[in-house]
Structure 1
C-alpha cells in the first residue's frame, strides 16, 4: 500500500516541488494539500492521510496549532514539521504538540523520502543529537520554564508518571535525551541493542508518549536533563 501524504504549506511552489518528488516514488502518493492550518484540518477530516508534511508559519492557523489539533484526534496521521530552523522558534512547540520530528525545508529529496517512510513506520525522524540542539536553543523561550520548568526541580515533582519507570528505564530515558542512539546506549550500559529498544518501548507505553521525540521533550520538561547542561 502507498503512503498517503498531505502537503501543508502556504507556498504553492514549494508544495509543487514536494509533490513532484513524492509522485516519482512507487510507495507514496499525495492525497491532499492545504495552504494553511485551517485547510489542513478540513483535509484531514475528508481524506485518508498517513503522514502530514506541515509548515509552521502560515496564515489563519499556524502549523503548531494545526499539529496539536490533528494529533488530538483518534487515529490521527503522523506529522513531520518542515522548518527553516534558524528562523523558526516554534518548532519545539510543534514537537510538544505531537509532531514526530522536523526537517529543514531545503532537505535533499532522498532524506525527505527516508524521513516520510520512517515516520510512517512509527519512528521519529529527528536524530536525537539534532533534537537536543533544538531543545537547548528554544527551551528557555517556552512558557512556564523559568524558575524550575526545564532544568528545574519543580518539573519533575509535577510529573508523578515518572514514578512508573524503573531505575533502568529512567537511565535509558536520560541517555535518549542526551542524544544517544540505541546502539550508543547499549554500549554505555553494556546491554544488547534489542534490550535498549525494549526499554524505550516500555518508556513510551508507561508515559503514554508517541515516539522518541516526545521522550526527549519530557526529559527536558521534568528536569531529568537540563537544557544546555548535564543530566541530573
Structure 2
C-alpha cells in the first residue's frame, strides 16, 4: 500500500529545513475542522490515501455560513449544518486529514502548483522534471484528472514575478533545493527511487509543500512542448526497471 499523506507529512515535519514550508495539517475530527475554520477562511479535507485530487473537500467561510465543495458538487451550509455537509462527501471507510488552505498566486487568473519529478537511478537524487500544473477555470485542485494542464515553470514564474528574472532564478533555486531535501527526508524512512513533490507559491512568493507522492505519474510532462524532461524521466525509469506510471 502507498504511504499515506499524514505519515509523510509527519516525517517532513521532523526536518527543521522543511518545517516552515508545511501548512498546518491534522487528522480530521469534527472539533479540529471547526477550530481551523475559526482560524482560516478556507480549509481542505483530504483522504489520507487519496490520489489524483479525488475526494478532496474544500470548506470556505462566507459572510453568512459556509460553502462546501467536492468535485463539481457544492452545498451551502450554516454553522449548525456544516459538519453534516462535510460528512455527506466523506467515504466512511477512509481516514481524512484537514489542512489549511493557502492563498495561492494565480497564473492568468487561475491557481497553479508545481510538480517536481525526482529520481534516484543510482545513488544520488536528481531532478528529472519540473513543471507548473495549472488548474482548469473555477477548479480548486490542479490535478490532470480534474482538468489541470502543464505549463513551462519559468514562463509561469516570470508572469507572477512580473518578469523579474532575479526573483524567478531565486525561486527556481529554492524549489530545487527544497525538493532534494524532501526526497532525502522521505527516503530515510522508505526505500523509494522516485518521488513526485507538489509545491505551491502563495501571493507573497512563499513556497509551501503540498505533498510528496511516492508513486508519481509522468504523463503531465508529455504536455510540455520541450520533450527533454519526459525523455529524462523515461530513460531513468528504464534504468530503474519501471516503464509504467
> TM-score, normalized by length of structure 2?
0.28
Name the one with the larger strand percent.
2
| TM superposition score normalised by structure 1 | 0.29
For CA contacts below 8 A with separation 6 or more, give which structure has more relative contact order: 2
